[in-house]
A and B are shown apart, each in its own frame.
Chain A
Amino acid sequence: MIRQLLESTLRVSTPLIFAALGGMFSERSGVINIALEGMMLIGAFGAAVVTYVTHSPWLGSLGGMAAGALLAAFYALFAIWLRANQIVAGTAINMLALGMTPFVSKILYDVTGQTPAIPLAERFQSAPLYMSWILVAACWFWVRYTRSGLWVSLAGEHPEALDAAGIRVNRVRWAAVLVSGALAGMGGATLSVFLSSSFSRNMTAGRGFIALAALIFGRWKPVPTAIACLMFGFAEALQFRLQGVSLEDGNPIPVQFIQVLPYVVTILVLAGFVYRSRPPQAAGTVFRRA
């Protein structure tokens, strides 16, 4: 049973890792990404549709990434170019994804918010799990040792300094938001073609926000963020496991308390009760050259 629990922890953490690392790109560059949830959702939808059509989960996840990046481009258009408030625009993007997915599924399949089931053989078996951890390592390397990693961090911490060095801040932010959308889309793809067999309405069910919480918990750093995803994944797996299990007196275990744990822990961490987690200095601000 312990082994099963650990296995399912690894599996359900996968979408969180992709999405949280996606969020890392955008937020490190100074663009707050409340819209992760919507990008995941649209990614899950795109992946389910493309996998169903092409019979390949690989092409499907590419489709999911493209869908996520497309929505991210729309977000960047408003948040960076048109200087919309990032929180407001992010909320709207989530609504847009929630509304567009059933809308498009109705047009494609004449069903509201559901895609046809994908046979088991055409789904991912375990590849995304390995990919997610390779990505964690790649992100760790990227943040620490590459020039573009430094640019993104500077865009979020000291945009003026980056600008003075001759790098276009908003270009860096655009790129970061697009990558963010693609990775969140990949996270959604793991939900629809790895962990389940189709898209269903609002199937992300707050995972984008959990990923955001993991990102804060992990202080916007790749490895701690991935570990936070594992912890939150464990909470989710445990909750599945205990659903319907009764205590000795015959009452079911109230899984709601496990369900809210990641959120409570995040609040405590953010408030500095456990340790301090500080967002990038220029997060949420518009950059305009003087």
Chain B
Amino acid sequence: MRKAVQAILSVGLGLALGLVVTWGAGENPWHVCKVLTKGAFGSGYDLGMTLFYATPLIFTGLSVAVAFHAGLFNIGAEGQLTLGALATAAAGAIWPNLWSPLAPVLAALAAILAGALWGAIPGWLRARRGSHEVINTIMLNFVAAGLASYVALYVLKNPESQNPETRPVGDGFLVHQFGVFAGAPVSVALPLALVVAVLVWVLLWRTVLGFDLRAVGQSEAAARAAGIDAGRIRIIAFSLAGALAGLVGVGEVLGNAGKFRVGFSPEYGFIGIAVALLGRNHPAGVIAAALLFGALHKGATALDMETDRVTQELSLVFQALIILSASAEGLWSLMKGRGAENSRGARLTGCT
């Protein structure tokens, strides 16, 4: 309960700071607020787009959360989802004549596999070579981007387009879009994301593997003493995280574009870190936070047209400020009047 209150407070603080920024730009914050809300929920289409943006964020948020429970920091969701989407599109481009429902299932498996493999690399490096996953995943994001653009430009190039993208997938691969959202590409990926969130919850809190995973995350020494192979668990956890991020490919490729487009992701992977942080690494929290960030992203697209001085990049500012407020451990003790540093001695060093 305390966690949820903290999360809501940090969202409030982040939004308030963001609105102060718009006020500083000479725009009426109340007007910005209205534009954001209307842009995100104003019509069936707007709501659909909000859900469309929220879907990949559920996957990346779960990805970061699962890794986090094993004591790992997954900054690599961006690379994992890139390769997941690429694999999805590749499956559809290589076997265009496959029929539904086999085709989308196969493509989804390709997404899972590609993401898991890309996730296994930093997991293995951490477990067996002791190198820290943060730098490795940052580097692997760039490697994945390079690899994906190579495949899209040379191997599976779309001959009918000037854009860097792969050949379209076969018709049998495309999944159903819900009609109620007036054309917004909300597909089966959304219910899939919700089901996967439940599965993640079951895995983490109702299975032996989940117990081992959380044990390693809380205390490696204790886990080892209990006979858990911490290295193995880390590799598995990172592969799982990669697989979850890879599933972004289903909604993007099979439910929306029908191909892999270079640069399709507006940093879903990085926003996933914020989603997990704000959702306190719980699947239900992740879903709620993903909806919030999806709404912010969609709402902000209306800013360019509806205001004179604010651009849609404001959504990045909002997101950054929310992350900062949510991550500031010291803020909560400060609010309780204990100062940013709890003990007197520490306060002396802290406030320089």
* Interface set of A (CB-CB < 8 Å, partner B): 32, 34, 78, 80-85, 87-89, 91-96, 98-103, 106-107, 112-113, 163, 168-171, 174, 206, 209, 212-213, 216, 251, 254, 256-257, 259-260, 263-264, 266-267, 270-273, 279, 287-290
Contacts and interface: CB of A to CB of B under 8 A. Distances in A.
Contact of A96 (B149, B320, B340, B343): B320
| A78, A89, A112, most chain B CB atoms within 10 A | A78
Contact of A103 (B154, B313, B323): B313
B274 interface: yes
Q: Main SS of the interface on chain B?
A: helix
B349 A279 contact: no
B147 interface: yes
B147 to A, nearest CB: 7
B324 A84 contact: yes
Interface stretch (B91-99, B102-110, B131-139, B174-182): B131-139
A92 B150 contact: no
B320 A99 contact: yes
14 contacts: A81-B330, A84-B329, A85-B329, A89-B327, A91-B274, A92-B274, A93-B320, A96-B320, A99-B316, A170-B350, A213-B139, A259-B142, A264-B139, A264-B143
B25 interface: yes
Nearest to B267: A95
| B21, B140, B320, B321, most chain A CB atoms within 10 A | B320
Given A107-B26, A270-B131, A87 B317 contact: no
Q: Main SS of the interface on chain A?
A: helix
**Range of interface residues on B (Cβ < 8 Å):** 35 or more
Contact of A289 (B153, B309, B345): B345
Given A95-B323, A99-B320, A102-B311, A287 B349 contact: yes
Contacts of A89: 323-324, 327-328
B314 interface: yes
B352 interface: yes
A257 B352 contact: no
